[in-house]
Amino acid sequence: MDDYPLLNAFWTMCLIFLWVLWLILLFRIIADIFRSHDLKGWGKTGWLVLVIVLPFVGVFIYVIARGHGMSEREIAQAERQQKQMQDYLRKTVAAGDDTGSRHADQLAKLADLKNHGDITEEEYQKAKAKVLA
């Protein structure tokens, strides 16, 4: 431990932290390039080549030129995902309620028929098992 002082360990941790931040920023920009609907094929290709071939310069140029829209595109994507999730949940809950209420209605009708003497206990049990199956 004497040949690697505490200050060097601190600087190493800072460099690792900055490297991870850099990679996160780079991947967010690449994702934003693909998410952007206003860029067409060659525009996306140009930005990708710039960001991959000259990463530091490319990322800084991208942030300066198109950074204002990154948050707007990310918010729009999050809203679309939220809406899709809510639609899915509504459909799932509605389908579950419909099936459950339909079974309950059928069981209530069967119990009514049994109580009025229209069907026997055996017929009631068979029909109930069929509904619940």
pLDDT tens readout for residues 80-119: 999 999 888 888 777 665 566 677 778 888 888 888 888 8
Answer whether residue 109 is part of any domain. yes
User: 47 vs 9, 75, 91, CA distance in Å?
Assistant: 36, 21, 40
Residue 16's domain comprises 6-132
d(CA 24, CA 77): 18
Q: How many domains does the chain have?
A: 1
Would residue 1 count as lying in a domain?
no
Q: Give the model confidence (pLDDT) of 54-69 as tens digits.
A: 988 999 999 999 988 8
CB 32 within 8 A of CB 73: yes
- Are 21 and 29 within 8 A, CB to CB? no
**pLDDT at position 2:** 63
